[in-house]
Structure 1
């Protein structure tokens, strides 16, 4: 990249960071969210996403955390959501889906959210028909 592009990127980044800092309600809130924000910024160098978009999202998450807007649902809610998706499967496939979501039996899980998603696989042996 040429010097103009680097200057523009740095200027844009400085503007986004400054705006995010001004939007935080208090210094105490900023200190509480700062470590999470720094971790998210560090991740931006290793993801398959536009770095500027990643930095904007990290700044937006920092702002929301400062406002108390970032919360996690209880784990039971996540499980209920996953099982609700299984309920949409044909009856013959529903129990296998639920086993994959719960991670029971011979279920294996590969991948990562950052990598694009988790792949859950359950192998169910089917006996060969008798001839």
Structure 2
């Protein structure tokens, strides 16, 4: 008896099952992949327009890196992520200095000037301290 035809049928069955079962998973990634590709195209258009906050070469590298991260599922655009990142800047302070920093990051009574493209954003708030 030759086991080869039986083995080939088993391999073919496993391969077919894998393709059929993977189909829905690929379809589920379709919209996410399309969104990532659309975002990449938008990012590249911004890079090529010269209106980004970076040099053109750096901007293109960042756009490609963001696309790769999105394809791996590592690009986190969770709601509130921007604010959490901004507030992390205040972690180096203690007490009232930290409280003042958080207020500035949230835009509470702070004036803002500058830009990322210009080298940085300066947030300034005034705290009145009564005389002792």
TM-score of the superposed pair, with normalisation by structure 2: 0.52
Q: CA deviation at 1:93?
A: 2.8
CA distance in 2, matches of 1:40, 1:88: 33
Shift of 1:98: 2.5
Unaligned stretches of 5+ residues in structure 1: 1-24
Provide, for residues 15-40 of structure 1, a one-character-per-residue CA deviation record: whole Å limited to 9, x for no partner. Answer: xxxxxxxxxx8893542212210111
Larger Rg: 2
What do residues 102-125 of structure 1 show as CA deviations (whole Å, max 9, x unaligned)?
322x21334444554433221335
Question: Which ranges of 4 or more aligned residues in structure 1 deviate by more than 6 Å?
Answer: none
Structure 2 CA distance, aligned partners of 1:48 and 1:72? 19
Q: Structure 1 or 2: larger helix share?
A: 2
2:76 aligned residue (64, 71, 74) = 71
CA distance in structure 2 between the partners assigned to 1:83 and 1:32 by the alignment: 28
Matched residue SS, 1:44: helix
User: What is the TM-score of this pair, normalised by structure 1?
Assistant: 0.53
Match of 1:56 among 50, 56, 61: 61
Higher relative CO (CA 8 A, sep ≥ 6), structure 1 or 2?
A: 1
| Unmatched tracts of structure 2, length 5 or more | 1-25
| Two-structure CA RMSD over aligned residues (Å) | 3.5
Distance 2:40 2:57 in 1: 15
8 A Cα contact 2:53 2:116, kept in partner? no
- Counterpart position of 1:16: none
Q: After superposition, what is the alpha-carbon deviation per residue over 1:76-123, rounded to whole angstroms, capped at 9, x for unaligned? A: x6555655543533545333222212322x213344445544332213
- Going from structure 1 to structure 2, the CA distance change for 1:65 and 1:108 (only over 3 Å counts) comes to same
Aligned residues: 102
